[in-house]
Structure 1
Amino acid sequence: MTRRLVAKQNLNRNPIDVAFRFLTYRPRSESEVRRRLSRQFTMMQVDETIDKLQERGILDDSAFANFWCSNREQHRPRSKMMLNQELRSFGVSGTIAKEALNMIDDETSALNAGRRYGRRLSTADQQSFYKKMMNHLHRRGFGFLLTQKVARDIWNELSCPADSDIYGNTKEQQPKN
């Protein structure tokens, strides 16, 4: 056997090493780690490993939920409802998910998602802009009234930038008194 194969086999014999390796890619929920370890180890070994990781503060569902929500908010904004579903699918309890979601504001998230997508639609006419923007936001879990409001706000931002007047003239083009 090669040295690499022997090293890989030795790593997989210790559940704490497998858990550490699994946690190096990104923070994980207790349920994810438990599921991963249960493929290779007995339930007693899995329980001991989970307890050790929790005692050391390495495995914490609350910290994971906060990380997940802030990461999603920053990179791929979603509605509270959709984030709650994602957290629940990771095995995070409802109370922990609810606490983590308290820092999320649906309107701000929708605006962030819409602004990012709106740049791609800058050449679209108003009707297709509204349709595409609302569909985009709806796929991210936002409700109809919110998507309608955000689509209107972003259309106004893109069609009438902040440094222009209501006629679309920039400050350089505005008549001087």
Structure 2
Amino acid sequence: MTASSSVPKSLEELQAAIAAIESPAPEPELPPLSDEGSKATKAALRLLKFRARSRHELHGRLVEKEFSEAAVAEAMERIDAWQLLDDADFARQWVEQRSVGKGATRTLLRRELEAKGVESAQISQALEDVSDEDERARAHELVAHRIERRENSDLSTMEQRTKVKRRLVEFLQRRGYSSGVALSVVNNEIANARQFL
């Protein structure tokens, strides 16, 4: 069975495309794979069942599994023929999941996508919809949620506020926020929390 002409956009669509590819229907238009190439292709399909990946990332994972470069090349050609990889779509999905789900900033997302081998233009396009205001609002949500979870924390003493502030600033910095933004957001949210004590 051949892949559809459109590239899968979601994990469910990707899994459905893989299932269709794995069906026993013959594929006369594609050349046969070597034994190792077939194993590398199956390994690539297993990796893609869990989540979308960039070309660079998938290639690297196959190399890590100690397939020969020829087998990896065969597998990548077959995956390309089935149109299962789209770095631009992967970048959009990554940005959406990590910015909303984890509160990652554009700076951190750019670094992560560069490490996954996504081209700079595709990264920039994926990051277009994330604004400074969105990032700052997400930082406020993350900190407010953390403070709410620590409902038994005593923020009345300077020592306790300093300790909580340091931890929250570090928390935001790990997500790519600058120390200035992190400190401003944390100070604001601690002041808000103290109003309700």
TM-score (norm 2): 0.65
Equivalent pair of 2:37/2:71 in contact (CA under 8 Å): no
Structure 1 residue 48: Cα displacement: 3.9
Structure 1 residue 42: Cα displacement: 4.0
State the one-letter code of the partner of 1:153: N
Equivalent pair of 1:130/1:151 in contact (CA under 8 Å): yes
Equivalent pair of 2:108/2:176 in contact (CA under 8 Å): yes
- Do residues 72 (structure 1) and 98 (structure 2) align? yes
Residue by residue, what CA displacement relative to the aligned partner does 1:77-136 show, whole Å, maximum 9, x if unpaired? Answer: 122211111111111122212221222233133223323322234424233332222122
Matches within 5 A, 1:128-139: 128-139=163-174
Give the 3-state SS of the residue equivalent to 1:127 in structure 2.
helix
Give the match for residue 91 of structure 1. 117
C-alpha separation in 2, matches of 1:69 and 1:111: 19
Equivalent pair of 1:78/1:110 in contact (CA under 8 Å): no
Q: Would the alpha carbon gap of residues 104 and 44 (structure 1) be closer, same or farther in structure 2, given more than 3 Å must change?
A: same
Structure 2 unpaired stretches of 5+: 1-34, 156-160
Instruction: For CA contacts below 8 A with separation 6 or more, give which structure has more relative contact order.
Output: 2
Give the match for residue 113 of structure 1. 142
Matches within 5 A, 1:46-65: 46-65=72-91
Equivalent pair of 1:130/1:152 in contact (CA under 8 Å): yes
Whichever of the two has the greater Rg, that structure is 1
Equivalent pair of 2:41/2:75 in contact (CA under 8 Å): yes
- Do residues 153 (structure 1) and 153 (structure 2) align? no
Kindly tell me the number of residue pairs found equivalent between the two proteins.
Answer: 153
Residue by residue, what CA displacement relative to the aligned partner does 1:11-36 show, whole Å, maximum 9, x if unpaired? Answer: 98433222110111111111111122
C-alpha separation in 1, matches of 2:180 and 2:166: 13
Q: Which of the numbers 87, 100, 107 marks the counterpart of 1:81?
A: 107
C-alpha separation in 2, matches of 1:61 and 1:160: 47
Equivalent pair of 1:78/1:141 in contact (CA under 8 Å): yes
Give the 3-state SS of the residue equivalent to 2:52 in structure 1.
coil
Give the match for residue 175 of structure 1. none
Equivalent pair of 1:114/1:151 in contact (CA under 8 Å): yes
Give the match for residue 104 of structure 1. 130
Residue by residue, what CA displacement relative to the aligned partner does 1:33-77 show, whole Å, maximum 9, x if unpaired? Answer: 112223444434433432432343321111111111111123321
Q: Which of the numbers 56, 63, 66 marks the counterpart of 1:31?
A: 56
Equivalent pair of 2:56/2:116 in contact (CA under 8 Å): yes
Greater than 6 Å deviation, 4+ residue runs? none
TM-score (norm 1): 0.71
Give the match for residue 172 of structure 1. none
State the one-letter code of the partner of 2:97: N
The Cα RMSD (Å) is: 2.6
Equivalent pair of 1:84/1:97 in contact (CA under 8 Å): yes
